[in-house]
Amino acid sequence: MSGENLTVNGYIKHHLTNLTYGKLPAGYVREDNGEKQVLQQDTWTMAHGGDEASAMGFNAIHIDSMAWSIGLGLIFCLLFRSVAKKASSGVPSGVINLVEMIVDFVDSNVKDTFHGRNPIVAPLALTVFVWVFLMNLMDLVPVDLLPELFALIGIPYQKIVPSTDPNITMGMALGVFLMMLYYNIKVKGFGFVKELTMTPFNHPLFIPINLFMEVVGFIAKPFSLGLRLFGNMYAGEMIFILIAALFGAGALWFVPAGLMQMGWSLFHVLIITLQAFIFMVLTVVYLSMAHEDH
């Protein structure tokens, strides 16, 4: 990329490296143009590769993932706000018709799935579905297009699909988990404690077993929610990168690689939509469970 003679392995690693900002510890040895530099103190800086990003540990932020996810969220808000201002009682057309179809689709799914009374759930479901869909949709952008453009202005790494970053997907899942916890306590009160300790075995002797099983199951919900989205989108991105690497194998591979790229793109559209739908439905299901106070 950008003048670099990368091997296939290096090409893949380059595409899977985030633009990372964080703190390198004192004593860390940095290599810059073949010269080694020993840091005398903790240093906040941009990572020069995956090894430095790993050394930063928890004190790091993936700037590209954050920027793209926030930017796509703003696009969603501005687009839907614009449509809401233009909506009328007449026959909708164009973007207005598309947005109304999405809203009706999400609303019908919430009515079928959510059995409590909470005005926040439907807007939350709409936000989750569209936001995740937009993040997933970035996977259809040619893998070298935007990274090459950013490389021209001196930005060496750029991952443009936020849902292939576990920090993003697990962060969203953590938000769902906190809402689950809040509504379980708010709606059920002490009944939430009883639910954790007296199910599935309704006997005091089984309280430790019940508590262990219920807590593990409760915590597993957000983990599975975030990891499912990350795993599917990461695998899809990896296949796009592998197909793109074939273009560098010689002219004979241009046509087969192009056909594979087109075929996988068409199939991936289904995955993109399905993963957004699953994330939305499971969010609504988990919140519905939190509102069941029987």
Question: Is 232 designated active site?
Answer: yes
Residue of 59, 82, 97, 224 marked active site: 224
Question: Is 288 designated active site?
Answer: no
Could you count the other beta carbons within 10 Å of the beta carbon of residue 142? 12
288 and 113 Cβ atoms separated by less than 8 Å: yes
User: CA 194, CA 136: separation in Å to the nearest integer?
Assistant: 40
Q: What residues form DSSP beta bridges with 43?
A: 24
Strand 29-32 to 35-38 pairing: antiparallel
Question: Is 30 designated active site?
Answer: no
Phi, psi torsion values for 35, nearest 5 degrees: -100, 135
Could you count the other beta carbons within 10 Å of the beta carbon of residue 1? 15
Residue of 2, 109, 167, 228 marked active site: 228
115 and 291 Cβ atoms separated by less than 8 Å: yes
User: CA 199, CA 191: separation in Å to the nearest integer?
Assistant: 11
Could you count the other beta carbons within 10 Å of the beta carbon of residue 49? 16
CA-based radius of gyration for the chain: 23
Catalytic (active-site) positions: 224, 228, 232
